[in-house]
Amino acid sequence: MTSFLLKNKVWVKIASDGLLWILLTIPAFWLRLEGAIFSYLPEILMIMGVMAPSKFASIYFFGHYRRSWQYCSVRDLLSLLVSVSAVTVIYFVYA
């Protein structure tokens, strides 16, 4: 198991981040809406079903896990801006 984790660090990071995004969506809405989440359940499910795969695709295709953020440059910042913009457009199309 340890050798699998060492060989596939990027996929382990993506899977753990994705699991956290999906699991923490409901508590985030619960905190934001002060417990009244049942009237917003369709929107929450849409975010969980559409936005999580969009985030995965954005992070993978723009290579955010392959970058060293300690030494980021303007090019890296522009890549992050394009990635966030792409996910935002997807969100507005489905919202």
Q: What is the pLDDT of residues 2-21, one digit of tens each?
A: 566 556 677 777 778 878 88
What is residue 18's predicted lDDT score, i.e. its pLDDT? 79
The whole-model pTM stands at 0.54
Sign of the four-CA dihedral 83, 64, 11, 45 = negative
What is residue 43's predicted lDDT score, i.e. its pLDDT? 81
Give the C-alpha separation, 37 to 41, whole Å. Answer: 6
For residue 86, pLDDT over 70 is answered with: yes
Q: What does the pLDDT look like over 23-81, one tens digit per residue?
A: 888 888 888 888 788 888 888 888 788 777 887 787 777 777 766 666 778 887 888 88
